[in-house]
Amino acid sequence: MPKVLIVYASRTGETREIANLIGEGIRISGMEAEVADVKEIKKESDMEGYDALILGSSTYHGEMLDKMKTLLFLAEKADLEGKVGGAFGAHGWSGEAPERIFGTMENIFKMDMVDGPLMLKSASLGGGIQMAQEYGKKIAAKLGS
């Protein structure tokens, strides 16, 4: 059974909630999903053994959170080329973090990305719960193909 690692960096808990909902979508599709706070990933080997990696950060003052930037440098050393990937995040006024994470995963890590990053203001607004679960289902579908 394919396994997916979802790592998030969150200030207020919104990005954590989105990560959990993406995980639900993956589990609904019959695959394993592990959700981890970025602080739990200490070395590149913590990202090994997964078929897909999904990274998310909230956007704060136009930037991703520092812990996610650090994780991206760490992930560059991991063997992620060709693996399925996704990016997401919560944002207030702007949504640069998910876009930058997505671009790094696609262009630097050479991952097989799911169509664009998921960007939500909140999981509880405007159908956010369903959109996050659907994003997880897209990841699962890409793994199944």
Task: Please check the confidence at residue 145 and state whether its pLDDT lies above 60.
Answer: no
- DSSP output for 1-39: --EEEEEEE-SSSHHHHHHHHHHHHHHHTT-EEEEEEGG
Domain annotation for the chain: domains and CATH numbers: 3-144 (3.40.50.360)
Entry pTM: 0.94
Nearest to 30 by CA among 3, 48, 49: 3
Which whole number is the average pLDDT over 10-25? Answer: 94
Distance CA 117, CA 130 (A): 15
Which whole number is the average pLDDT over 68-78? Answer: 95
Q: What is the pLDDT of residue 24?
A: 97
Q: Which amino acid is at 80?
A: L
- pLDDT per residue over 28-37, tens digit each? 999 999 999 9
Q: What is the pLDDT of residue 1?
A: 87
